[in-house]
Amino acid sequence: MRGEVLDYTDTILNKKINNPQSTASINDNNDKIPKHTVRDSVFRHLFLEPKYALQLYRILHPEDTTATEADISYLTITKEITNGIRNDLGMYIGGKFLIMIEAQTTWSENIVIRIFIYLAEIWKNYIAQNGLDVFSSKDLNLPIPELYVVYTGERKSRPAVLKLSEHIFHGTCKDVELAVHMIYNGKEEKDILSQYVSFTKQVKYFFQKYGRTSKAAEELFRYCIDHNILKEYLLSRQEEVTSMLDVIFDDTIHRRKQQEEAFAAGEAQGEARGKKAGELKKAREIAVEMARIGMEEDVIASVLKVDVSQVEKWLAAESILSSAEQ
C-alpha cells in the first residue's frame, strides 16, 4: 500500500469526464503526493502537504508516536460528488483509511452518503490493486476506515456523530450502518486544526468587511501571520492560497446566482401554472353553465377550446348530463 494514490480526476477546468476511471499506482515518495489544482479548497491544499497531514493525524491518534511523513499515502477522491470545489482528503496511515470532508457553511446530513460512496470506491480499488478475492472463503484483511467531517460553519446544534441509520434512515433501517465523526475544532489552541478553523473565520470576516478586493486578502494574510494562524503555510503559499480564495469566491457567487436564477424561474413557472389553473377553473364554470342550458358537450368543448373528454370530466364531477344524455 506504500505510496498509493487513488485519483478520480476531472480536468483542472472542471470539465466532467464520461465514465471517469480510477487510477492507482505504487509510487515512490516523491510522486505519492497528488498534484494541487486551482479547484482545491484551502483545506485540501493544506493537508496535502505531508508535514501538516502528519500533524492532523497525530491530533486524531496521539497514541501513535512512531508515524512519520513517509508513512502517509494519499487517497485522492475528486469524483464529481462535490459542488465544484474539492474539499475532500483521504489518507492511508497506520493501517487505517482516514477520509475527511470539509463543510464550511452548508450543513447537510447527506454528507454521510457522500462519504459512504467514497469509502466504497476506496475499498473497491484497494481490493483490485492488492489482488484480493471477494469470493474467497477467507476473510479479507481491509484497512480500518475512519470517517470525519470538519465543520467550520455557524450551526448551533453540533452532534458528535452522524449515523446512516439515524440521520438518513431515521431508525427505519439498521441493516446498513456507517458513522461519521464530526470535528468542529482542534484539541489544543494552536494545533493545526485549531489554526485552520481560525483561518476560515478570518476569511469570512475580511471578505465580508472588504469584499472581493486585494485589501481583503492583504489584511487576511497580515492578521493571520501576526497571530500565528497557519503562519508558516501562508508565508510559503500566499500566492496559491490567494488564487484558491478567488476561485472559491467565484464559485460561491456563481452558485448563488444559479440559485437566484432557479428561484426566479420557479416563480415564473408558478405564476404561469397559477394563471393556467385560473383559466381552467373559469372554463369549468362556464362549461357547467352552458351544460345547464342544454348545450352539447362537443359544442361546449369547441367554444372553450378544450378536449371533449375534459368537458365530460367537469360535468361528471358536477353530476350534470348534457341534453343528449338526459
Burial class (CB in 10 A: 0-12, 13-18, 19+), 211: exposed
Q: Which of 37, 4, 47 is nearest to 191 (CA)?
A: 47
In a domain, 241, yes or no: yes
In a domain, 284, yes or no: no
What is the arithmetic mean of pLDDT over 260-288? 66
Neighbours of 96 (CB within 10 A): 16
What is the arithmetic mean of pLDDT over 238-267? 61
What is the arithmetic mean of pLDDT over 294-314? 81
Residue length, the chain?
326
Give the total number of structural domains in the chain.
1
In a domain, 156, yes or no: yes
Q: How confident is the model at residue 60 (pLDDT cuts 50, 70, 90)?
A: very high
What mean pLDDT is reported for the chain?
Answer: 76
The answer to whether 8 and 121 have CB atoms below 8 angstroms apart is: yes
In a domain, 100, yes or no: yes
In a domain, 299, yes or no: no
Residues 61-89, buried b or exposed e (16+ Cβ, 10 A)? eeeeeeeebebbbbbbbbbebbeebbbbb
Phi and psi torsions of 18, nearest 5°: -70, 135
pLDDT above 70 (res 83) = no
Domain range spanning residue 173? 4-263
**CA–CA separation, 111 vs 167, rounded Å?**
10
The angle subtended at Cα 204 by Cα 223 and Cα 198, nearest 5°, is: 55
